[in-house]
Amino acid sequence: MGHLGQNILNYELENGVNMCCDEDCSKNEINTTLIQYAVKDLLTGLGEDINREGIIKTPLRVAKALCDGTRGYSQSAKEIVEGALFPEAGVDNTKVGHAGGVGGLVIVRDLEFYSYCESCMLPFYFKCHVGYVPSGQRVLGLSKLSRVTNVFAKRLQEPQRLADEVCFALHQGIEPAGVAVVLQCTHINIPDTVFDTNHKGLVETLVSSGSGVFENKDADMWGDVFGLLKFRGIDKDKVHVKGSLDQYWCPSLSSKIGEINPIMVTAVSSILKSLGEDPTRKELVGTPSRYVKWLMNFQYCSDIDGKLKLNGSPWSGEVNFDEKEVHSELNLPFWSQCEHHLLPFHGVVHIGYFISKGCHPIEKSLLQSIVLFYGFKLQVQERLTKQIAETISPLIGGNVIVVVEASHTCMVSRGIEKFGSNTATIAVLGRFSIDLAAKTAFLESIPK
């Protein structure tokens, strides 16, 4: 568990960093023009036509998303706390114990946030549980625990430092007996190769930070915290010790980086500068190369036959629909990159098609390769669904149904921040467009 040292954050807590992040980017100090030029260089490096209708406004959208996602640099945690401290008495002197504004643990659980990983610039999700032990007969408005956490979430971060900064800011502002912060963090796992069917999509870690009565990781007060978190799958023994996290966290840190387009690397460095960061900072030195490596997974390629060797169709004739059956391949995983915001989305694909009884279905590996081929592009989910269906259709006689279910980080790491939302799209070709019973049966077979 992390604990806090000297007052290393005082200036930043009081004043923030000299940035401003209004939605209208022309009113802030971020040079959005440079970010847009940089994004154009990245798109060009991917082989994209920057004047294509779907991405012509992508540079501006990316600039706004980054502005929104790093607005915490300009915010002051101290200002948030100062206006929300309220008097609250403790236990009456005639009674034994502690509660209220003197010694009674307060914990807010299940606060959900996104932040940007400083090692690869991809968003990571975390659930925050934050508590404190009041002293001085005063308590903090509960919503301010969330707001202070969000100040530090909206910066380039890594989990342990994020937990420490939230803990330190609350301790400085509230002056309690102690503060405890527990973060459950989930990071996208960058695949080494596009057609890695064994790729594990997410990496999870658990970190904590404590001050005052929580500074010792073995303090009895931690028992109260973890006791109130026991139904949330949190195991105290799995909390990473401060300083041991690097080997567990961002997958890009252990990924080999080969030759990288230097123009694209320079473009990412320019983006970091425009956000007010220092690309030469130790933790950020390798970030541009790691981010470019991630993007290159989505390099434009239109030759699916050359990639997958779809030499002709395995289809051997008409289906006798009197002896038909629907074959399903469910939960084929995919990863993609939203072409509107250059943010990842990921999920599963379900495919159904008619075959005659006794006939062999298409190899699952081929269907998975088709899904991955179209996933690893700058995409929108609607197009991805259609492309998969249209590619499979001639292989199985034209009768196919495809359902794509995906979580979009652009839905939660910017703008409306709709945590837990999931998008489903469907493409129906051939017999499935008229055979309601077959379509319904397939949809009902999809796992909940």
Domain count, the chain: 2
Domain end (from 268, 296, 324):
296
- CATH number, position 144: 3.30.1130.10
pLDDT at 103: 83
pLDDT per 10-residue tile (average), the chain, 448 residues: 46 47 46 90 95 94 90 91 88 67 89 93 93 92 95 95 97 95 88 58 89 91 90 79 64 82 96 92 94 90 65 51 79 93 93 84 92 94 97 92 93 67 94 94 94
Are residues 91 and 161 located together in one domain of the fold? yes
Domain end (from 234, 262, 296):
296
Are residues 372 and 311 located together in one domain of the fold? yes
Domain end (from 269, 296, 323):
296
Are residues 257 and 316 located together in one domain of the fold? no
pLDDT at 332: 96
Which pair of tokens denotes residue 182? 């527990």
Are residues 292 and 315 located together in one domain of the fold? no
Are residues 320 and 285 located together in one domain of the fold? no
Are residues 405 and 264 located together in one domain of the fold? no
pTM for this entry: 0.83
Q: CB-based contacts of 325: which residues, under 8 Å, 6+ apart?
A: 354, 355, 356, 357
| Cα distance between residue 252 and residue 390, in whole Å | 34
Alpha-carbon distances, residue 205 vs 187, 245, 247, 251 (angstroms): 9, 8, 11, 12
Are residues 218 and 331 located together in one domain of the fold? no
Structural domain range at position 334: 304-445
Are residues 184 and 69 located together in one domain of the fold? yes
| Cα distance between residue 210 and residue 330, in whole Å | 44
Are residues 274 and 311 located together in one domain of the fold? no
| Cα distance between residue 117 and residue 156, in whole Å | 6
Are residues 335 and 439 located together in one domain of the fold? yes
Are residues 143 and 252 located together in one domain of the fold? yes
Are residues 319 and 269 located together in one domain of the fold? no
